[in-house]
Structure 1
Amino acid sequence: MIRTPLRPLARILRAREKGENPDEIEAENRAQRHAEIQEKARSSARSRLFFMAMGFMLAFGTVGTKMAVLASSQPSEPQVQTSGAQIISQRADITDRQGRVLATNLLTHSLYAHPRQMVDPAGAAQKLAKIFPDLDIARLEKDFSGKRSFVWIKKKLSPEQMQAVHDIGEPGLLFGPREMRLYPNGTIASHILGGSTFGKEDVASAEVIGVAGVEKAFDHWLRDPANDGAPLVLSLDLTVQAAMEEVLSNGMKVMNAKGATGILLEVKTGEIVAMASLPDFDPNDRPKPLLKGDPSDSPLFNRAVQGQYELGSTFKIFPVAQALDLKLVSPATMINSKTPMKIGKYLINDFHNYGGQLSVTDIIVKSSNVGTVRIAQLLGPERQKDFLQKLGFFDPTTIEMSEAPTGKPLVPTRWPAVTAATVSFGHGLAASPLHLAAAYATIANGGKRVRPTLVHGRSARPSEQVLSPEAAKTAMALMRQVVTRGTARSSEVAGYEVAGKTGTADKPRPTGGYYKNKVVATFASAFPSSDPQYVLVLTLDEPSVTRAGGVESRTAGATAAPVAGELIRRVAPLLGLRPLTESQLPMVERPLPDGLKLVSN
């Protein structure tokens, strides 16, 4: 900025020449300079006032808008805002259908160390190793005496362990609060629940995430704050589940089996009341998975859902029920049962020689392979495949478990005559016991498709009619005779009208062919047969029992059926089923091979 001088020399000289006073020039310039300074100050003041006014208007506008929003919204509690990623540690409970807790959260503490704050690192390591024998003293001493500033020691502690650590008196040992997942019933329903572990974590909290079973399948739902802490209600009944596991465990020991599984479901709803797989595990201390060998040797393996077994003669009711539905046969129809039967280069035999002919009823009662194949030939491969697909044997079950997709049945890619024959009596197609339970429930449900579920009270989608009600009822009557006078007599429970079918299938070798002394024994049943309420499927892996006279038997009638009978005897009263008296039992029409009919109770 160029300033005008107060006494410009040129003007002063001219003023003196004219006799004027030079001081007036200075006074004039000084007044002009003051006027310019005042104008500049006024302009600056106006700018500051304008911006201040705009600032106040913006502030008051923001406050007014916020007040209007608050006035028009519902009141809510303020929430503390924290920096960094939020760890959601809360997880909803899991209960059975009666509200009994199967999985819940427990407030506990973690243990960590700040080595730089420790007074006696070596002494602390030795004392910690006495409290936690699984800790490595040498590793602890190295971590405590090194350059590390933070060391995780235990991610969850019991109150007793916490007190013992506190008594050490080491200032560098610190506790952090957190929630852990607790399964108060131990091993009961372990395969269904699956288990959990920690995800994101810090010293003050940890995220609990599901790793298997329903814990993983419903992980997002269980951690969703929008559910307001509502529990996940399963269809299980804890009392029935415990009874099933006890009977299965004892049955495994008596029958010398390496594994067992049982499934009990409601016919009308498809809800699973109990489902067990043995051997099992404690989800509070979930074991590590096997890295080699047979997966079924691991206690983590869920035989009910993941097992892919050839289920033997339990499949024979399917072609018979379909043939009844198509009016190709009736219970009294006589079928050629001459053995052996030749298909191409293959021979099909029966366990016993039943003569030249058997009625359709006796084909099921006596479990004739040849007779079943003859009926399957009446159907043809395409109709047979279509019916099995409608029953759900070509796809994984829709059960709400993370393991469900791994239980997809092993279905033949080709379906020639010999495959159609072997599948009709349960060989050549491998499926899980849960698939079998759903298929039997469909028959017991008057032919309407049943899809198993583990969620209590869930609205079932409309079911398609896979089988006519008449054919389904007749199939139930045939299976009732399997129990009263056939291969499953050892499963009979007085007053409960058990109907079912046994199945004994040789186990396939990994290298091809079948073992001669290893079988999978299955008994699939429904009760009461006159008004089916429940379906029970029980499978034993490699059973063997010595019968009277020292004869070893592996058949389902001698192994799986009696265990199933004991299980029905135990759980039927728990399910609220009253045994029928002799006078209440329905009259049964029993076709005989010669076409005569004997009516009996």
Structure 2
Amino acid sequence: MIRTPLRPLARILEARQKGENPDAIERENKRIRHEQMRDRSRQRAEGRLLVLGIFFFCAFSVVGARMGLLATSEATEPRAHAPGAVISASRADIVDRNGNILATNFETHALYAQPRHMVDPVMAAKKLVGVFPDLDEERLLKDFTGKRKFLWIKKKISPEQMQAVHDIGDPGLLFAPRDMRLYPNGKLAAHVLGGASFGKEGVHAAEVIGVAGVERYFDDYLRDPANGNKPLELSLDLTVQAAAEQVLWGGMKLMNAKGATSVLMDVKTGEVVSVVSLPSFDPNDRPRPATKGDPSDSPLFNRSVQGVYELGSTFKIFAAAQAIDLGLVSAETVIDTSGPFKVGGFKIGEFHNKNYGKLSVTDIIVNSSNRGTGRIALQIGAERQQDFLRKLGFFEATSFEIVEAAGGKPLLPKRWTDLSSVTISYGHGLSSSPMHLAAGYAALANGGYKVAPTLIKQTTPQLGPRVISAKAAADARMMLRKVVSDGTASFGEVPGYQVGGKTGTADKPKPNGGYYKDKVIATFASIFPAHDPQYVLIVTLDEPVETSGTKPRRTAGWTAVPVAAEMIRRVAPLLGVRPTVEPLEEAVITLAGNN
């Protein structure tokens, strides 16, 4: 901008010639300049006021619109949010077959500290120990007065604890919202559910991940936001599970056992309606895994799938059924069970050195003859025996949907000799889990079809390939019924439910080889009702001893069988199995002519 001079030379010279005062020219020019400056300032001020007015108009319009929206919408609780957070805390519920909650989410808080914002770290540490006695006051004080800017104090706190921390009143103690996993039934079905913990963690959210059981096996499904309103529906029946756990716990204590497990399975669908492993734990407060000692001593050990045992004479029915299926024998075929009986230089004996003499195949099962079963196994042969047990699933871990099942692979002999065939026929030399045994018995109970144990609710039968003929399966069921009515499992009789089953007592192996003389694994594998089986029940006791008599008794007939009978008595009505009168055999009518 070109400024006009206040004393232009031409005008000054002209004014002097005319005798005028040159200073008047300067004053006049100053006045004009000042007026121009005021005009420009006024224009700028008016422009600014216009812009400010427009800004305030827009701001109040937005506020008014927001207030109107809030006034016409439903009130909601504001939630903490971190910009850019990628942690998803949602997790689907787990329910039983009837829709009862087994696992769900619960809103809680975590407690953390920002030491640089704390007013009185010494007082805060002291009062925190009063609220949480498991905290170390010296450690807290060291963290609060050190260089740390952030530390977690408690990952989960109750509303009462949260209020107590509020009352401390220190601004450096803060709360983080959390969705924690809640198991409202406590220890019930603990080994199935497994438990959950926190994965990725932030101040405003924490990721809940499964650490064991179905929580880990179905972790991807449960964490998928698309399944938030679609609970994982299991085959378990909560009421049956509770009854089974109660009976098994009482039986374990009554029989002085170290541990126990039971498996209740539908023979046509493979659904596991109840599975129990004792001792148990509370998944709401899952203990730490054992780092030394026998894994089975830990309550986390799942005996139903991880417990790989020699299951004793429960295997004898497989040898008898296969031999009948192959046409080698019939249920009435007589076999000499007398001794001596040696295979591979080893003598095969009987329980308490009994000598049963000649027995039918049915009586071999009823009396649980080792020699009789061994002679049947030799007729079958090692190769065919392996093929049959492989079809039943005894060569691989079960497909049961908990992560622990993958570790329960059966232990097989390195060389399958004739001696192996004989000992395996009566349950020694091959170790498997109770879940394997349940699947094997289900195949005999359902008419000869393989079924896979499952934890997912099914709506139709899930029969796999045929592994044995219907006739052989029917004969096997008849034998199992006679074991209860006339044989070693007489304590397993439950009026109205026609139980069939087979006992098995196996010496417990030592960790470094050999067997204990006074410790056994006692098992009762049962089906009910025997004339039309619907369920398989396996009960296994670890180191049981029955002491009501003058001498301690450890066999399954005295330990596992009574426990299984009581369980059937309790759960059968809950399963909707109505007691019936056992069908009688058809009478043989002979027509006689007149003499």
Normalised by the length of structure 1, the TM-score is: 0.83
User: Which amino acid counterpart does residue 331 of structure 2 have in structure 1?
Assistant: P
Could you tell me which residue of structure 2 aligns to residue 495 of structure 1? Answer: 496
Are 1:586 and 2:583 an aligned pair? yes
Could you tell me which residue of structure 2 aligns to residue 129 of structure 1? Answer: 129
User: Which amino acid counterpart does residue 234 of structure 1 have in structure 2?
Assistant: L
After TM superposition, the runs of 4+ consecutive aligned structure 1 residues lying more than 3 A away are 80-85, 458-462
Are 1:233 and 2:233 an aligned pair? yes
- Where structure 1 has 5 or more consecutive residues not aligned to the other structure, the ranges are 1-79, 591-601
Matches within 5 A, 1:167-182: 167-182=167-182
Secondary structure at the aligned position of 1:447 is classed as: coil
Moved more, 451-460 or 228-237: 451-460
Q: Deviations over 1:481-532 (max 9, x none)?
A: 0000100000110010100000000011122111101100000000001110
Could you tell me which residue of structure 2 aligns to residue 92 of structure 1? Answer: 92
Q: 1:177 to 1:355 in 2, by over 3 A?
A: closer
Secondary structure at the aligned position of 2:506 is classed as: strand
Aligned mates of 2:453, 2:547 — CA distance in 1? 36
Tell me if the contact between 2:268 and 2:462 (Cα under 8 Å) persists in the aligned partners.
no
Q: Deviations over 1:423-445 (max 9, x none)?
A: 00000000000000000001101
Matches within 5 A, 1:452-531: 452-457=453-458, 463-531=464-532
Could you tell me which residue of structure 2 aligns to residue 153 of structure 1? Answer: 153
Matches within 5 A, 1:73-84: 83-84=83-84
Could you tell me which residue of structure 2 aligns to residue 103 of structure 1? Answer: 103
Tell me if the contact between 2:451 and 2:463 (Cα under 8 Å) persists in the aligned partners.
no
Aligned mates of 1:180, 1:458 — CA distance in 2? 32
Q: Deviations over 1:176-217 (max 9, x none)?
A: 111000000000000000001000011111000000000000
Matches within 5 A, 1:36-435: 83-84=83-84, 86-352=86-352, 353-435=354-436
User: Which amino acid counterpart does residue 173 of structure 2 have in structure 1?
Assistant: L
User: Which amino acid counterpart does residue 275 of structure 1 have in structure 2?
Assistant: V
Q: 1:356 to 1:495 in 2, by over 3 A?
A: same
- 1:83 shift after superposition: 4.7
Could you tell me which residue of structure 1 aligns to residue 11 of structure 2? Answer: none
Tell me if the contact between 2:523 and 2:560 (Cα under 8 Å) persists in the aligned partners.
yes
Tell me if the contact between 2:92 and 2:231 (Cα under 8 Å) persists in the aligned partners.
yes
Aligned mates of 1:355, 1:496 — CA distance in 2? 30
- 1:354 shift after superposition: 3.4
- 1:407 shift after superposition: 0.2
Secondary structure at the aligned position of 2:274 is classed as: strand
Aligned mates of 1:372, 1:154 — CA distance in 2? 60
Tell me if the contact between 1:365 and 1:478 (Cα under 8 Å) persists in the aligned partners.
yes
- Where structure 2 has 5 or more consecutive residues not aligned to the other structure, the ranges are 1-79, 588-595
Secondary structure at the aligned position of 2:126 is classed as: helix
Aligned mates of 1:521, 1:406 — CA distance in 2? 22
Aligned mates of 1:344, 1:213 — CA distance in 2? 43
Tell me if the contact between 2:113 and 2:153 (Cα under 8 Å) persists in the aligned partners.
yes
Could you tell me which residue of structure 1 aligns to residue 53 of structure 2? Answer: none
Tell me if the contact between 1:340 and 1:350 (Cα under 8 Å) persists in the aligned partners.
no
Tell me if the contact between 1:341 and 1:349 (Cα under 8 Å) persists in the aligned partners.
yes
User: Which amino acid counterpart does residue 276 of structure 2 have in structure 1?
Assistant: A
- 1:274 shift after superposition: 0.3
- 1:341 shift after superposition: 1.2
- 1:228 shift after superposition: 4.1
Normalised by the length of structure 2, the TM-score is: 0.84
Secondary structure at the aligned position of 1:226 is classed as: helix
User: Which amino acid counterpart does residue 418 of structure 1 have in structure 2?
Assistant: L
Tell me if the contact between 1:339 and 1:350 (Cα under 8 Å) persists in the aligned partners.
no
- 1:461 shift after superposition: 5.8
User: Which amino acid counterpart does residue 587 of structure 1 have in structure 2?
Assistant: L
Secondary structure at the aligned position of 1:553 is classed as: coil
Q: 1:538 to 1:402 in 2, by over 3 A?
A: same
Q: Deviations over 1:220-264 (max 9, x none)?
A: 000111224210000000010011111111001110000000000
Secondary structure at the aligned position of 2:403 is classed as: coil
Q: Deviations over 1:9-60 (max 9, x none)?
A: xxxxxxxxxxxxxxxxxxxxxxxxxxxxxxxxxxxxxxxxxxxxxxxxxxxx
User: Which amino acid counterpart does residue 522 of structure 1 have in structure 2?
Assistant: T
Moved more, 458-467 or 269-278: 458-467
- 1:345 shift after superposition: 1.7
Could you tell me which residue of structure 1 aligns to residue 23 of structure 2? Answer: none
Aligned mates of 1:227, 1:163 — CA distance in 2? 34
Tell me if the contact between 2:91 and 2:228 (Cα under 8 Å) persists in the aligned partners.
no
Q: Deviations over 1:48-105 (max 9, x none)?
A: xxxxxxxxxxxxxxxxxxxxxxxxxxxxxxxx99754500100000000010000000
- 1:291 shift after superposition: 0.5
User: Which amino acid counterpart does residue 267 of structure 2 have in structure 1?
Assistant: V
User: Which amino acid counterpart does residue 535 of structure 2 have in structure 1?
Assistant: Y
Secondary structure at the aligned position of 1:545 is classed as: coil
Secondary structure at the aligned position of 1:537 is classed as: strand
Paired residues in the alignment total 507
Aligned mates of 1:245, 1:387 — CA distance in 2? 33
Aligned mates of 1:499, 1:510 — CA distance in 2? 34
Could you tell me which residue of structure 1 aligns to residue 535 of structure 2? Answer: 534
